[in-house]
Amino acid sequence: MNRRHFLLAAGGAMLLPGPGIGATPGMEVFKTPTCGCCTAWITHVERAGIPVTAQDIPQQALWQVKQDVGITPELSSCHTAFIEGYVIEGHVPAQDIQRLLTERPDALGLTVPDMPVGSPGMEMGDRRDAFDTLLVLRDGNTKVFARHNG
C-alpha cells in the first residue's frame, strides 16, 4: 500500500501536489496524539516559515506509514512528515529541510534517527548531543547530509 492509498484508507486528508507559484511548500506531519516533542518540532518548522498540517494517528498506523515509505526501524523516530515528494523522519532541523528543497537530491528524504537531545523539539536546557541528519537514498542506504555538533 503506498502513502496515498494508506491516507485515503485511513480517512486522511490529501494535499494537492506542489505549491502554487511563489508559495511556501506545505508539510504534512503524522504523529501520535500524545507526543509533545513532535508538537515542539512542528513549532520549530513553522517558525522557519514552513506551513504544517498535522494529523494524529494511532501508533500502529504511524509504523505502517513509515514502513510503506521505506523508513526502517533503524532510521525511524517519533513522527513522519512529507514535503514536496520527500519524507522527513524525526527531529530534522528546518535549515536541513530548506537545503533539501533547494538542492533537490534524488533521494527518499531526510532522517534524524531516534530522538537526540538538543535536536529541534528535543531541547533539554543547555544539553546538546551531537547528531547527524541523514539523507535516505532510494535504495535504503544513507549518507550524512548535515552534522550538528552538541
pLDDT tens-digit profile of 60-107?
999 999 999 999 999 999 999 999 999 999 999 999 999 999 999 999
> For cell 500500500, what's the residue?
1
In a domain, 18, yes or no: no
Q: What is the pLDDT of residue 25?
A: 77
Return the C-alpha cell found at 55: 494529523
Return the C-alpha cell found at 119: 535536536
In a domain, 80, yes or no: yes
Asked if 73 and 52 touch (Cβ cutoff 8 Å), the reply is no
In a domain, 131, yes or no: yes
Give the predicted TM-score (pTM) of the model: 0.83
Asked if 65 and 6 touch (Cβ cutoff 8 Å), the reply is yes
DSSP 134: E
Structural domains in the chain (count): 1
Q: What is the pLDDT of residue 23?
A: 56
Q: What is the pLDDT of residue 36?
A: 86
pLDDT digits (tens, 9 = 90+) for 2-22: 444 334 334 343 333 344 444
Q: Tell me what the pLDDT averaged over the chain comes to.
A: 86
Asked if 92 and 102 touch (Cβ cutoff 8 Å), the reply is no
CA distance 10 to 42: 22
In a domain, 16, yes or no: no
Pick the more confident residue, 4 or 117.
Answer: 117
Return the C-alpha cell found at 19: 505549491
In a domain, 115, yes or no: yes
Domain that holds residue 131: 3-10+25-148
Q: What is the pLDDT of residue 35?
A: 87
* CATH number for the domain that contains residue 99: 3.40.30
In a domain, 17, yes or no: no
In a domain, 15, yes or no: no
Asked if 54 and 42 touch (Cβ cutoff 8 Å), the reply is yes
Torsion 38-62-114-72 (CA) sign: negative
In a domain, 104, yes or no: yes
24 falls in which pLDDT band (50, 70, 90)?
low
